[in-house]
């Protein structure tokens, strides 16, 4: 009896080992005949049990049948495997066990990423996000913002004018907006105070490019109008924004500036990320990078938009977006954002 047990065990080992090495349907058929066929070693072994005493016959018969069931199962499995392999090779079936092919998904441009991050920060402070037209009337871009045609500050904003007939009867002319500030007026014309909005979008200026200037760049405008709004609200809002975006350890400079549509006016600069205030090419040696203009909305702008300036006051600001990731990551040339160089863009 130990001899037959041994034979069953050896038979099992050799059957499984051989099966493992098979790769062709023809070889598999030979294996089936050799191990499970009518003249196979297993069939012979089962036959030989007939001469054994009943007790041994029962035990060994059971062991042989277990082996037979196992060999039939592994055969079926292998047959299925080989069949699938043939179908996959013929392109008729997909091998779902293969690892997936990487899908080259893109991601948002760094400027878009920063824009949505900044919008989120202001949304968290109660500002609503709205958008406005990139092609604008000079009336909204300049006149309604207290910049009449002869005003010298129009020179600061070299303008791309559109070759289109003036809008009558006012004689308005069409241009590519030079800042997002026209949306201050458009919003105040439509919505009664209290107003709290931010306006992300592209702006255009007819000017030479350098490490910190582009002819097309992005701004985000902010406007808050309500009873009792003061310069303290403006400063508090902008310092909170700088703290949330740049972190508490970055120095912030807040000082007076002039814009015809605010009174008083201010500008905010952040400590240069490259030189940390020491002076370098990016910050023009000053150690600071100006990121926004701001101020208390001029009473004339409020009145022109139909808001009573004796009851309401407001603050506004306009942030240059590209300069923000420059400061954040220490990028020393603004032109990289629009160079289309994937080696640069993939880093964000
Ligand atoms: C001021 C007062 C307000 O109550 C509201 C908004 C403003 C900002 C004003 N409309 C404006 O456009 N001011 S600005 O000409 O100084 O530009 C604002 C920011 O845009 C700058 O601080 C700078 O960060 C960025 N910027 C200006 N010219 C740029 C530029 N970024 C890239 N390329 C240029 N050419």
Give the closest residue to 134 by CA, choosing from 196, 172, 187, 183.
183
Q: Count Cβ atoms below 10 Å from residue 83 Cβ, excluding itself.
A: 13
Query: 178 C-alpha vs ligand 1 centroid, how far in Å?
Result: 9
**CA–CA dist 142, 156 (Å, integer):** 12
Query: Token pair 């985000």 is at which residue?
Result: 220
What's the total number of domains in the chain? 2
My answer on whether 218 and 277 are in the same domain is yes
Q: Residue 198 maps to which CATH number? A: 3.30.930.10
Q: Which residues contact 7 (CB under 8 A, 6 or more apart)?
A: 45
Ligand 1 atom at minimal distance to the Cα of residue 297: 4
Query: 267 C-alpha vs ligand 1 centroid, how far in Å?
Result: 9
Domain membership flag for residue 205: yes
Statement: residue 18 has pLDDT above 70: yes
| Residue-wise DSSP of 54-78 | HHHHHHHHHHHHHHHHHHHHHHHHH
DSSP state at residue 152: G
Domain membership flag for residue 101: no
> CB–CB of 279/308 below 8 Å?
no
My answer on whether 131 and 249 are in the same domain is yes
* Average pLDDT of the residues of the chain: 91
My answer on whether 164 and 219 are in the same domain is yes
Top pLDDT among 45 and 225 is at 225
pLDDT digits (tens, 9 = 90+) for 224-271: 999 999 999 999 999 999 999 988 988 999 999 999 999 999 999 999
Residues 297-302: what's their mean pLDDT? 98
Statement: residue 15 has pLDDT above 60: yes
My answer on whether 200 and 64 are in the same domain is no
Q: Is the CB of 298 under 6 A from ligand 1?
A: no
Domain membership flag for residue 97: no
Statement: residue 2 has pLDDT above 60: no
What is this structure's pTM?
0.73
Of 58, 90, 122, the residue at which a domain comes to its end is 90
Domain membership flag for residue 99: no
Percent of the chain at pLDDT above 70?
Answer: 98
Domain membership flag for residue 103: no
> CB–CB of 142/161 below 8 Å?
no
pLDDT digits (tens, 9 = 90+) for 321-346: 998 888 778 888 999 999 999 999 99
What's the pLDDT at 317?
98
Q: Is the CB of 262 under 6 A from ligand 1?
A: yes
My answer on whether 14 and 56 are in the same domain is yes
Q: Is the CB of 201 under 6 A from ligand 1?
A: no
Statement: residue 156 has pLDDT above 70: no
Domain membership flag for residue 104: no
Domain membership flag for residue 96: no
**Mutational pocket test of ligand 1: of 145, 157, 219, 221, the residue with most ligand atoms within 8 Å of the beta carbon:** 219
pLDDT digits (tens, 9 = 90+) for 77-103: 999 988 888 877 777 788 888 888 888
Domain membership flag for residue 180: yes
**Mutational pocket test of ligand 1: of 292, 314, 333, the residue with most ligand atoms within 8 Å of the beta carbon:** 292
Of 61, 90, 119, the residue at which a domain comes to its end is 90
My answer on whether 152 and 294 are in the same domain is yes
My answer on whether 236 and 310 are in the same domain is yes
Nearest CA to ligand 1 atom 13: 293
Nearest CA to ligand 1 atom 2: 294
My answer on whether 288 and 190 are in the same domain is yes
My answer on whether 72 and 179 are in the same domain is no
Of 90, 119, 137, the residue at which a domain comes to its end is 90
Q: Which helix (H) or strand (E) holds 101?
A: none
Q: Residue 27: which domain range? A: 2-90
My answer on whether 201 and 139 are in the same domain is yes
My answer on whether 168 and 243 are in the same domain is yes
**CA–CA dist 12, 331 (Å, integer):** 68
pLDDT digits (tens, 9 = 90+) for 107-131: 999 999 999 999 999 999 999 999 9
My answer on whether 68 and 158 are in the same domain is no
Classify burial at 84, counting beta carbons within 10 Å of its beta carbon; exposed 0-12, middle 13-18, buried 19 or more: middle
């Amino acid at each position: 009896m130990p001899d037959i047990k041994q034979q069953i065990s050896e038979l099992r080992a050799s059957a499984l080992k051989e099966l493992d090495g098979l790769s062709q349907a023809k070889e598999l058929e030979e294996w089936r005949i050799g191990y499970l066929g009518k003249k196979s070693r297993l069939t012979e072994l089962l036959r030989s049990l007939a001469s054994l005493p009943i007790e041994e016959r029962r035990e060994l018969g059971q062991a042989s049948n277990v082996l037979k069931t196992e060999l039939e199962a592994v055969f079926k499995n292998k047959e299925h495997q080989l069949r699938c392999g043939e179908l996959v090779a013929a392109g008729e079936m997909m091998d779902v066990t293969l690892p997936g092919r990487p899908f080259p998904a893109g991601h948002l441009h760094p400027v878009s990423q920063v824009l949505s991050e900044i919008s989120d920060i202001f949304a968290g402070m109660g500002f609503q996000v709205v958008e406005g037209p990139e092609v604008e009337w000079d009336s909204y871009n300049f006149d309604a913002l207290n910049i009449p045609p002869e005003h010298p500050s129009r020179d600061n904003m070299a303008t791309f004018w559109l070759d289109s007939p003036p809008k009558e009867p006012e004689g308005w002319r069409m241009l590519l907006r030079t800042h997002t500030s026209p949306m201050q007026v458009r919003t105040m014309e439509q919505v009664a105070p209290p107003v709290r909005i931010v306006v992300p979008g592209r702006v255009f200026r007819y000017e030479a490019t350098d490490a910190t200037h582009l002819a097309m760049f992005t701004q985000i405008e902010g406007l808050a109008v309500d009873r009792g709004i003061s310069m303290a609200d403006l400063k508090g809002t902008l310092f909170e924004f700088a703290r949330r975006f740049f972190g508490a350890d970055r120095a912030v400079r807040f000082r007076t500036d002039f814009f015809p549509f605010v009174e008083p006016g201010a500008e905010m600069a952040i400590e240069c990320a490259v030189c940390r205030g020491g002076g370098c090419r990016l910050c023009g040696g000053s150690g600071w990078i100006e990121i926004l203009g701001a101020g208390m909305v001029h009473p004339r702008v409020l009145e022109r938009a139909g808001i009573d300036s004796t009851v309401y006051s407001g603050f506004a600001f306009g942030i240059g977006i590209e300069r923000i990731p420059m400061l954040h990551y220490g990028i020393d040339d603004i032109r990289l954002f629009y160079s289309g160089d994937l080696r640069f863009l993939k880093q964000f």
